[in-house]
Chains A and B, each alone.
Chain A
Amino acid sequence: MAGELIGNILILIVLAGLGAAGVISVIIWKKNRVARVTFLRFVIQAVGLAALFFLFSLEPSIPLLYVLIAWFAVMLFLGRFFCGWVCPFAFIMDIESVIRKALKIRYRLLPERLNTALHKGRYLILAVFLLLPIALWLIDPPPNTASAVMMARLLAGPFRPYSIIIDPLIPLVVPWTGQIVLGDINLSYPYISDIVTFIDTTPGQIFAVVFVVVTLIGAFLIRRVWCRFCPAGASIAAINKFKAFKGVPLLYIEKDEEKCTKCGVCKRVCPVQVPEVYEQKGGKIGTSQCMLCARCVEMCPYEDALKIKLANKPVFKSRNWLEPSINDE
């Protein structure tokens, strides 16, 4: 089968890529402390992609379910760590950014107000994704029991809590599982299977095309553009919003008020334009907008001013990234 062949080639590519990434990251880790985290993130993202690939291409149903439930549990404790460090979709967007950087094209910013509006509006988008099946059911009730069951299974999809996070990524990671053909183009792309399944051909296709354009071209010009809409991210964020889970996020960014000189670097380098790291006076940064990608911690030029803490223990601190011990060679 062509799909399997592509799959095998992909596995090889992924493995080779991982090896190369490992070597490169070791070299860069040694040489360039400033960009360490960024490279580490690429490595983790690649590993995440590979892991998900093997997960999805294996017997999908049972082990996947458990793994995904485990994922869900981890997500509860880590907040949006998944978005910043693992999500394959984000990986694609990051790679787009790297290409853009190489082409020396500058990034655009979303207007601040739109960004905050989206921050709040993500829940609406999440609701739309969740309610879409019900709306479709109501508009177009299935004719018979068999198709009703099928529909129900499809509908149940987005309600499974892990599903909205992981399901859309399946066609991205394992291209042949969610083959969506638009015209003649195979668009294995997150959410598109959902969109096209739920909405009839023409509007669904328009929606899908818009989706692809917004995310692919958008992410080329605006860093991590989809992360600002993403219902998956919103669902993770929503979980952490409940009072009972307030203390749960084990992973968070903390700011030392006295060491911060408010130079604004953190605000500028943030790929999702989170203002809180800059604006908040100190302490735990409490925003579900933040994906914990640690770019701000990495770029903060003041020692210990920002740190990422895991269960109250600092895992990674901002450093004087001009520290004298680095040699220039």
Chain B
Amino acid sequence: MSKNGTVEQRYLPEISRKEMDELKNTVKIASQKIIADNIERMKRADPHRPEAMKYFDDIANLFGRRQQEIQAEKEKGKKVIGYMCLFAPTELILAADAIPVRVNSGWYDTSKLGDRVVPVEVCPVIRSTIGAKMIELSPFLEQSDALISVLTCDGMTKLSEILSDQQTIWGMNVPRIKDSTQSLRFWSDEIKHMKTQIESFTGNKITRKNLNEAITQSHRATKAFRRLQNLRRTNPVIMGRDAMLVNQAYTWDDTKRWTEKTELLCDELEKRAQQKDWVCSPDTPRVMITGTPMFWPDNWKLPTLVEEGNPQGIIVADEQCSGERILNDPIGVDEWSMDDMLNAISERYLMASTCPCFTSKNGNEDRINWLINKAKEWNVQGVVYYVVRGCMLYAMEYSRVKKALDKINVPVYYLDTEYTREDVGQLKTRVEAFMELLNARVDF
């Protein structure tokens, strides 16, 4: 795989360096503006935003501090291993002293570029990632020395093929039936294989001690993460968007530092909760978002609409692989032997996942259970089922989710959209009508 064109590109079109740079600059400038704008709006929504959010605002600039840090580490000889789906065992990457980063793209502009390679019917997350690759926009995608691509949905499967034009891709087969013994056996073989692959690529052996440390590290992160989510159970102390940004920042930030900063944020929020210092009126409808992942920075329109709408809502929970699914499940290690740690890792990544690409004896029941549990425990008043066009798996699961949530009397609104900014007006009407509906339910 080379970038200088000695290898024929099977999918990606040939773009001249000049055109590429021009496009990259335009999109990059636009994107930086959007990042600044999103943060500005988040600041406006919560006039005395937690101090600790400053760090996350800083790290949220994808083209800023974190990019340079990774670059510096890379120069010191560290490897960067990117991944697309959450199934990539980041603990193994950490244990091999490499840097894990998630490389899914949330840029609207690049999805239009992706149209040159794949038809518009394809999920915009995929198209946008392809577009980002075409103009080498995404800092983390470009910095990745290798990519772990887990073949979850159809889009991801072919995306890995398309990206392999320019990058080293390690595919991981994921079994579609989640709860059978043979699936688990298959998946743990994949994990073990990934371990040897990471070891030979980075040249660092994953020892028992290293892995133990990595897992403990991720336990700490999960602890901080759960603490933050638990703070959102009561009257709102943090805007949903802020929390979502914190959650998502984990996928590119340094794990240790992220944990520290999140704990700091939680300390601050706990104080606020004690002082009964709520970010918005406790009557504000509490909303949960589920569905297609929403990636920073561009794809932030739905949370913005919910929290800036009139009437306003507040996002208290989500069920998205760009949100609370990132760190919700700890790795349940029984005995700290290499074998058991690997088993625990494979179970954590396969069985605890609620991705709709799975099915099991009872269908994707785990997801339903998650939603019901969250709805009850977080006092969710309404669920926004967010789907981007082309995301078949989420779209198809809607009927079941709706029925299940109807049973516990939580209204769901199905909202489908695209990677564009043009439909914000229409979405606004719908989101606001839904908030009004929730308000009306609160009143009676």
Contacts and interface: CB of A to CB of B under 8 A. Distances in A.
B208 interface: yes
Interface in A114-156: none
B334 A269 contact: yes
A106 B340 contact: yes
Interface stretch (B39-47, B176-184, B241-249, B394-402): B176-184
Nearest to B367: A261
A105 B337 CA distance: 7
A260 B354 CA distance: 11
Contacts of A328: 220
A262 to B, nearest CB: 5
- Report the contact-size class of chain B (Cβ under 8 Å from the partner): 35 or more
Contact of B352 (A106, A262, A321): A262
B370 interface: yes
A146 B330 CA distance: 66
A84 interface: no
B223 A268 contact: no
B437 interface: no
Nearest to B223: A322
A104 B347 CA distance: 21
A15 interface: no
Interface in A194-245: none
Interface in A281-329: 281, 299-301, 320-324, 328
B366 A261 contact: yes
A282 B201 CA distance: 44
B373 A259 contact: yes
B17 to A, nearest CB: 48
B16 to A, nearest CB: 49
A264 B219 contact: no
Contacts of A324: 223-224, 226-227, 230, 266
Nearest to B373: A258
B72 interface: no
A261 B226 contact: no
B161 interface: no
Contacts of B328: 261
B335 A106 contact: yes
B20 interface: no
A24 interface: no
B351 A263 contact: yes
A261 B351 CA distance: 8
A53 to B, nearest CB: 30
B344 interface: yes
Of B178, B365, B373, the most chain A CB neighbours within 10 A belong to B373
B343 interface: yes
Contact of B334 (A104, A268, A321, A323): A268
Contacts of A262: 178-179, 351-352, 360, 365-366
A104 B332 contact: no
Nearest to A105: B337
Interface string A245-281: 0000000000001111111110011000000000101
A258 B372 contact: yes
B362 interface: yes
B362 A281 contact: yes
B369 A257 contact: yes
B329 interface: yes
Given A101-B335, A262-B351, A263-B347, A322 B370 contact: no
A263 B348 contact: yes
Contacts, number: 84
Given A259-B369, A299-B334, A322 B222 contact: yes
A322 B340 CA distance: 19
Contact of A261 (B219, B337, B340, B352): B352
Contact of A268 (B222, B332, B376): B332
Nearest to B362: A281
B37 interface: no
A107 interface: yes
Contacts of A106: 335, 337-340
A260 B367 CA distance: 10
Contacts of B362: 281
A4 interface: no
B226 A268 contact: no
A234 B348 CA distance: 33
Nearest to B360: A262
Nearest to B179: A262
A258 B329 CA distance: 15
A264 B181 CA distance: 11
Contacts of B222: 322
Contacts of A269: 332, 334
Contacts of A281: 362
Given A261-B329, A261-B354, A323-B223, A268 B347 contact: yes
Given A301-B329, A322-B222, A324-B230, A264 B335 contact: no
Q: Which of B179, B220, B336, B360 has the most CB of A within 10 A?
A: B179
Interface string B204-238: 00001000000000011011101100100000000
A321 to B, nearest CB: 8
Contacts of B334: 265, 268-269, 299
Interface of A: 101, 104-107, 112, 257-265, 268-269, 279, 281, 299-301, 320-324, 328
17 contacts: A101-B335, A104-B208, A104-B337, A107-B340, A257-B369, A260-B369, A261-B370, A262-B178, A262-B179, A263-B347, A263-B348, A265-B334, A265-B344, A269-B332, A269-B334, A281-B362, A324-B230
Interface of B: 178-179, 181, 184, 208, 219-220, 222-224, 226-227, 230, 266, 328-330, 332, 334-340, 343-344, 347-348, 351-352, 354, 360, 362, 365-366, 369-370, 372-373, 376
Given A104-B337, A105-B337, A258-B372, 13 more contacts: A101-B337, A107-B340, A258-B373, A258-B376, A259-B369, A259-B373, A261-B352, A264-B184, A268-B334, A269-B332, A324-B224, A324-B266, A328-B220
